[in-house]
Amino acid sequence: MIRWILRIIAVGYVLGLVALPVATVTRSTFAHGLQPVLDSLQNPDFIAAAKLSAIVAVLAVLINTVFGVGMAVLLVRYRFPGRRLLNALIDLPVAISPIVIGIALILVYGQNGWFGGWLESRGIQIIFATPAIVMATVIVALPLVVREVIPTLEEAGTDQDQAAQSLGANSVQRFWRITLPTIKWALAYGVVLSLARSLGEFGAVRVVSGSVPGVSQTLTLYVNDQYQEFGPVAEQAYMTAAFALMLSAVVFIIVIALLRPKENQQ
Amino acid sequence: MMKTVPPPPRRKPRSVASGRLTAASGLGLGVAVLWLSLIVLLPIAAIVVTSFQNGPASFWDSVTTPEALATLRLTVGGAALVTVLNAIFGTLIAWVLVRDQFPGKRIIEVIIDIPFALPTIVAGVVLISLYGPHSPFGVDLVGTREGVLLALLFVTLPFVVRSVQPVLIDMERDVEEAAASLGAGGFTTFRRIILPTITPAILAGAALSFARALGEFGSVILISANLPNTEVSSVYMLKLIESDDTAGATAVATLLLIVAIVVLVLLDSLQRVAARRD
């Protein structure tokens, strides 16, 4: 009896909060058939926004992968003063509002910011341009790769690495032949998480991009800007873009679900 | 600090790394710290410095205007309420997912991850399609505080579930069976045996969901509809920065930063106490 009540509450909560809204958005997207959806996919602003989002996400994931693997190796294999502080700092962006991250970037790299004037005198524009969008995205996804790789590295230990070293392997060889194969599934998992997070970032990008259609408008900004417009075309436009982002999120979840058992086997 | 919780059986002993920095790793550390400074440390420092640049009195004035106070009350109160609800429902859902068997359970598992993977602005669109003006149930929460809470509950759903689940899976069943054989009812067993074991995990999940709810922006912006009574701090800060009130925006940001750090430290120490008592 109690088991049934608990089951109904749990399933009802998850369905009402997540599944039903997701289903409704799918239905509303295709409410007028397939043609309006296809039409809104042809919108040049949509195409430009999708391209910008893809470029930004790939760049941010590349940066965070290199940084994340390097940071994880340093934190697990080495002991140095300030190690715990560094470890805590990596998680900081998760506890901060994306709006605050955006404002913080403006204060440092904006026109009147700490470095903004110096950069501008050299013709480098960061805020209201792609570099700031990439930076904002890198910050919000910062801990994802590091946090996935660290536990795997800790469990693997350094035995194999030391064996390889005693056999004369240099550090580059040891990284490619020992470390990378060890962390490969955890890294893949972290990369997919970062990709999902990067593609979906909105708040921090909203502050630093300026959201000019076709220039600095990412896909999430496009959803927001079209939502603010009135009329059936704009409505179909934001629904289609939201549905496309939702579909990519579902693909990410499925990939994550497939990767998780492999990561645990390690 | 020694934890007295028995470690899950499959965990291998932690390797003791005592590596000293070599020239190459030292250089790597230098580059990593420089990068972290450029994208996290300096920007955060800039927020705090800017918020106090006109003196503490001006900081105090910025965070005590009636509008600032109203948004802070809604943000902190909303985050607290959402965190409590998550602690209860998240634990319940984790329990059902671990201990109950029913058809479609794997689908529920996948649905739980949707709020993590879904872009926040899409979460807003999704919620409005069901709980907005075109709601099939006729429930329109746009521009209400209930709508804001709903958005916060949506984005924070996975935190407690995902942190309690592994602890429940690793829990040995024999203590519960012993309690039951000694005549303890279901509720007593839960309160005396299960709850103490999963409390640290609940608190860890609660801390994450509080921090997330405190700073949430994307999922809230559409459903709050820019009305004064539903304005959370993130929306308020954006409004200030767009009207060039940098001092005001950074003051609110600094205050929220302090609240987040205090609550995270508090929940972390509670977690340690709970882990030790168990």
Q: What is the pLDDT of residues A91-120, one digit of tens each?
A: 888 888 999 999 999 999 988 888 888 888
Min Cα separation A248/chain B (Å) = 9
Same domain, B97 and B231: yes
- B202 with B127, same domain: the answer is yes
Residues B36 and B117 in one domain: no
pLDDT tens-digit profile of B224-271? Answer: 988 889 999 999 999 999 999 999 999 999 999 898 888 878 877 887
At residue A149, does pLDDT exceed 60?
Answer: yes
* Whether A24 and A57 share a structural domain: no
In this complex, do B32 and A71 lie within 8 Å of one another by their Cβ atoms?
yes
| pLDDT value for B24 | 79
Q: Is B221 on the interface with A (CB under 8 A)?
A: yes
Please report the pLDDT score of residue B16 as a whole number. 43
Tokens at residue A231, please?
Answer: 């009329």
A260, A190 Cβ separation under 8 angstroms: no
A15/A130 same-domain check? no
- Asked if A38 and A13 sit in the same domain, the reply is no
Whether residues B68 and B155 share a domain: the answer is yes
Residues B40 and B60 in one domain: no
Q: What whole-number distance in Å separates Cα of residue B17 and Cα of residue A157?
A: 8
Q: Is residue B129 part of a domain?
A: yes
Do B194 and B250 fall within a single domain? yes
pLDDT bucket at A261, cuts 50 / 70 / 90: low
For position A92, what pLDDT does the model report? Answer: 85
Mutation target for B interface from A99, A173, A246: give the one with most B CBs within 10 A: A99
Q: CA-CA distance, B233 to B193, in Å (whole number)?
A: 40
φ, ψ of residue A78 in degrees (nearest 5): -125, 150
Tell me, yes or no, whether A72 and A164 share the same domain: yes
Give CA–CA dist A225/B102, Å, rounded: 42
- Rounded mean pLDDT of chain A? 90
- CA atoms lying within 13 Å on the CB side of residue A211: 14
- Secondary-structure breakdown of chain B: helix, strand, coil percentages, each rounded to the nearest 5: 75, 0, 25
Q: Tally Cβ neighbours within 10 Å of residue A97.
A: 27
Length of chain B: 278
3-state secondary structure chain A: CHHHHHHHHHHHHHHHHHHHHHHHHHHHHCCCCHHHHHHHHCCHHHHHHHHHHHHHHHHHHHHHHHHHHHHHHHHHHECCCCHHHHHHHHHHHHHCCHHHHHHHHHHHHCCCCCCHHHHHHCCCCCCCCHHHHHHHHHHHCHHHHHHHHHHHHHHHCCHHHHHHHHCCCCHHHHHHHHHHHHHHHHHHHHHHHHHHHHHHCCHHHHHHHCCCCCCCCCHHHHHHHHHHCCCHHHHHHHHHHHHHHHHHHHHHHHHHHHHHHHHHHC
Residue A231 shares a structural domain with residue A258: yes
Compute the Cα dihedral for A161, A167, A168, A172 and give only its sign. negative
Residue A129's CATH number: 1.10.3720.10
- Shared domain for A4 and A65, answered yes or no, is no
Domain around B153: 56-277
Does some domain include residue B236? yes
Q: Looking at this predicted complex, what is its ipTM?
A: 0.89
pLDDT at A265: 59
**How many angstroms separate the CA of residue A211 from the nearest CA in chain B?**
13
pLDDT > 90 fraction of chain A, expressed in percent and rounded: 52
DSSP code, position B230: G
For residues A19 and A43, state if they share a domain. Answer: no
What residues contact A29, with CB distance under 8 A and at least 6 apart?
Answer: A37, A236, A239, A240, A242, A243
Is B162 within 8 Å of B112 (Cβ atoms)? yes
Same domain, B91 and B195: yes
Cβ contacts of residue A153 below 8 Å, gap of 6+?
Answer: A72, A73, A76, A77, A179, A182, A183
Q: Which domain holds residue A5?
A: 1-31
Angle between helix A180-200 and B105-117 (nearest 10): 70
Is residue A160 exposed (0-12), middle (13-18) or buried (19+ Cβ within 10 Å)?
middle
Q: Is B250 on the interface with A (CB under 8 A)?
A: yes
For the record, the structure tokens of A138 come out as 């890198």
Stretches where chain B sits below pLDDT 50 are 1-16
3-class secondary structure per residue, A5-35? HHHHHHHHHHHHHHHHHHHHHHHHHCCCCHH
Residue A263 pLDDT > 70: no
Within an 8 Å CB–CB cutoff, is residue B168 touching chain A? Answer: no
B167/B94 Cα distance (integer angstroms): 10
Residue A121 and residue A26 in one domain = no
**A9 shares its domain with A97:** no
Q: Which two tokens stand for residue A246?
A: 């939702």
Q: A118 and A10, same structural domain?
A: no
Helix (H, G, I), strand (E, B) or coil at B19: strand
Name the residue among B116, B114, B151, B112 with its Cα closest to residue B131.
B151
Measured between CA atoms, how close is B40 to chain A, in angstroms? 7
For B223-242, letters b (16+ CB in 10 Å) and e give bbbeeeebbbbbbbbbbbbe
Flag if A95 and B50 touch (Cβ within 8 Å).
Answer: no
What's the confidence (pLDDT) of residue B155? 95
pTM above 0.80, yes or no: yes
Residue B111: list chain A partners with CB under 8 A: 14-15, 18-19
Asked whether the predicted pLDDT for residue A136 surpasses 90, the reply is yes
Q: Which residues of B243-274 are buried (b: 16+ CB within 10 A; e: fewer)?
A: eeebbbbbbbbbbbbebbeebbeebeebbeeb
B93 touches chain A (CB under 8 A): yes
Residues A246 and A218 in one domain: yes
Cα-based distances in Å from B70 to B73, B228, B231, B236: 5, 9, 8, 10
Q: What is the average pLDDT across A178-189? A: 89
Averaged pLDDT, A225-240:
92
Instruction: Show residues of chain A in contact with B31, CB under 8 Å.
Output: 70
The H or E element containing residue B153 is helix B145-170
If you search the block for the tokens 């970062």, which residue do you land on?
A194
Residue B175 domain-assigned? yes
Structure token pair of residue B79: 């985050």
Question: What stretch of H or E contains B41?
Answer: none
Do A107 and B43 meet the contact criterion of CB atoms below 8 Å apart? yes
Structurally, chain B folds into a number of domains equal to 2
Per the structure, the count of domains in chain A is: 2
- Asked if residue A108 lies in contact with residue B43, where contact means CB atoms within 8 angstroms, the answer is yes
Question: Do A16 and A68 share a domain, yes or no?
Answer: no
- CATH code where residue B117 lies: 1.10.3720.10
B198's tokens: 């999963």
Residue B46 lies in a domain: yes
**Whether residue B109 is found in the same domain as residue B38:** no
Phi, psi of A169 (to 5 degrees): -75, 135
Task: Give yes or no: residues B166 and B42 share one domain.
Answer: no
Amino acid found at B41? L
pLDDT at B35: 92
Q: Are residues B173 and B229 in the same domain?
A: yes
Residue A127 has pLDDT above 60, yes or no: yes
Query: Per-residue pLDDT tens for A35-53?
Result: 999 999 999 999 999 999 9
Mean pLDDT of A143-157: 89
How far apart are the two ends of chain A, measured CA to CA in Å?
A: 40
**For residues B210 and A260, what is the distance between their CA atoms, to the nearest angstrom?**
26
Q: Give the DSSP H/E element, type plus range, for residue B254.
A: helix B246-277
Output the pLDDT for position B15: 42
Helix (H) or strand (E) holding B146: helix B145-170
B window 101-160, beta carbon within 8 A of A = 102, 104, 108-122, 125-127, 129-131, 134, 136, 150, 153-154, 157
